[in-house]
């Protein structure tokens, strides 16, 4: 597997304008980041921070005001890149007059696939998202969660290499969101790259390798989840079972440095704590932006 980034975003800005070209809102400001192959990348941020905007810019649904995007080595405006991408929109924008089978067949036809593969893949996906009973019902009769599920199936119809998920667990029941997380990990195990946006921090913590936190269109944090959550103020030592004398000795050493050992170990924060801290800091000190050192 090459280590070329799957997604390269450079100085990406987006200003929404009204009909007359007047500026309405700057939704994204000079965002730069890379997504590496095979990782699960999480985009976090409060409502309206520009997550969905970023995904839409990646897909070429929106045109950037400034900056460049390269996705699977192609510019965002090149539709042929979509052959290898799957996208689950924030809300499932599907044709409500089609049923589940017809929906998958329709989207399948937009890709280079033989009719047999298309049929097979559609059956598998319907089975996978648990809509077997409802496969012949029109989507307008579906509940929110069911629509989400068919939306997910549609995103995977082409067996994509890169999967963009916009709030994948929203609207799903606990079982469904468990399944979704398992699926993400399974896809990762198959070597796919996944970019997801979410508010559900526990989900992100469970599945993401790296995260970026956006606040008002600016990148505030970008790192590996593990590194971010490591508490720098504490040291954790984990060893195979030590004899009590050894523990005593370590305690003595710690005492010599003026530290008291509560528990030997390096605790992890929850992502929730980190997220709230970043947002609070950003609100207090606006204008500070994460400078991406790895991305040139």
Ligand X SMILES: Nc1ncnc2c1ncn2[C@@H]1O[C@H](COP(=O)(O)OP(=O)(O)OP(=O)(O)O)[C@@H](O)[C@H]1O
Name which of 126 and 196 has its Cβ closer to ligand X.
Answer: 196
**Interatomic CA distance for residues 234 and 149, integer angstroms:** 42
Q: Provide the minimum distance between the beta carbon of 19 and ligand X in the complex, in angstroms, as a whole number.
A: 11
Residue 47 is a binding residue for another protein (CB under 8 A) = no
**Interatomic CA distance for residues 101 and 250, integer angstroms:** 64
32, 52, 147, 282: which one contacts Mg ion (CB under 5 A)? 52
Q: Using CB distances below 5 to 8 A depending on partner kind, what does residue 59 bind out of Mg ion, ligand X, another protein, none?
A: another protein
Residue 102 is a binding residue for another protein (CB under 8 A) = yes
How many chain residues touch ligand X (CB under 6 A)?
A: 13
Q: Which position has the token pair 């700057």?
A: 26
Backbone angles phi, psi at 205, to 5 degrees: -60, -35
Residue 83 is a binding residue for another protein (CB under 8 A) = yes
Q: Using CB distances below 5 to 8 A depending on partner kind, what does residue 49 bind out of another protein, ligand X, Mg ion, none?
A: ligand X
Strands in 85-88's sheet, in edge-to-edge order, are 85-88, 162-166, 193-197, 40-44, 210-215, 218-224
Q: Using CB distances below 5 to 8 A depending on partner kind, what does residue 87 bind out of Mg ion, ligand X, another protein, none?
A: another protein
Backbone angles phi, psi at 53, to 5 degrees: -55, -45
Residue 68 is a binding residue for another protein (CB under 8 A) = no
**Interatomic CA distance for residues 134 and 131, integer angstroms:** 5
159 contacts 83 by C-beta, under 8 angstroms: no
30, 36, 37, 48: which one contacts ligand X (CB under 6 A)? 48
Q: Provide the minimum distance between the beta carbon of 112 and ligand X in the complex, in angstroms, as a whole number.
A: 31
Interacting positions 75-114 with ligand X (CB under 6 A): 90
Q: How far are the Cα atoms of 3, 4, 64, 144 from residue 201, in angstroms, in the given order?
A: 28, 28, 28, 21
Applying CB under 8 A, the residues found at the interface with another protein are 19, 21, 23, 56, 59-63, 65-66, 77, 79-83, 85, 87, 89, 91-98, 102, 106-107, 109-111, 151, 154, 158
Applying CB under 6 A, the residues found at the interface with ligand X are 16, 24-25, 27, 45, 47-53, 90
């Amino acid at each position: 597997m090459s280590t070329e980034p799957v997604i390269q975003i450079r100085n990406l800005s987006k200003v929404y304008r009204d009909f007359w070209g007047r500026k309405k809102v700057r939704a994204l400001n000079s965002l730069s980041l890379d997504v590496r192959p095979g990782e699960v990348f999480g985009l976090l941020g409060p409502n309206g921070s520009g997550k969905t905007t970023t995904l839409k810019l990646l897909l070429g649904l929106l045109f950037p005001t400034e900056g460049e995007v390269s996705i699977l080595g192609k510019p965002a405006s090149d539709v042929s890149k979509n052959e290898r991408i799957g996208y689950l929109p924030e809300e499932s924008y599907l044709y409500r007059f089609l049923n589940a089978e017809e929906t998958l067949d329709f989207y399948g036809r937009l890709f280079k696939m033989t009719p047999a593969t298309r049929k097979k893949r559609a059956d598998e996906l319907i089975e996978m998202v648990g809509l077997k009973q409802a496969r012949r019902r029109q989507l307008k009769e579906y509940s929110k969660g069911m629509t989400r599920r068919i939306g997910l199936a549609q995103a995977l119809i082409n067996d994509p290499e890169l999967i963009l998920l916009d709030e994948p667990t929203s609207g799903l029941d606990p079982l469904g969101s468990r399944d979704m997380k398992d699926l993400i990990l399974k896809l990762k195990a198959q070597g796919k790259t996944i970019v997801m946006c979410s508010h559900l921090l526990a989900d992100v913590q469970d599945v993401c390798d790296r995260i970026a936190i956006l606040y008002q269109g600016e990148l505030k944090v970008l790192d590996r989840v593990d590194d971010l959550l490591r508490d720098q103020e504490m040291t954790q030592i984990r060893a195979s079972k030590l004899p009590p004398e050894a523990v005593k000795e370590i305690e003595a050493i710690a005492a010599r440095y003026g530290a008291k050992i509560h528990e030997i170990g390096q605790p992890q924060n929850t992502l929730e704590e980190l997220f709230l801290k970043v947002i609070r800091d950003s609100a207090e000190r606006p204008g500070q932006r994460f400078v991406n050192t790895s991305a040139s």
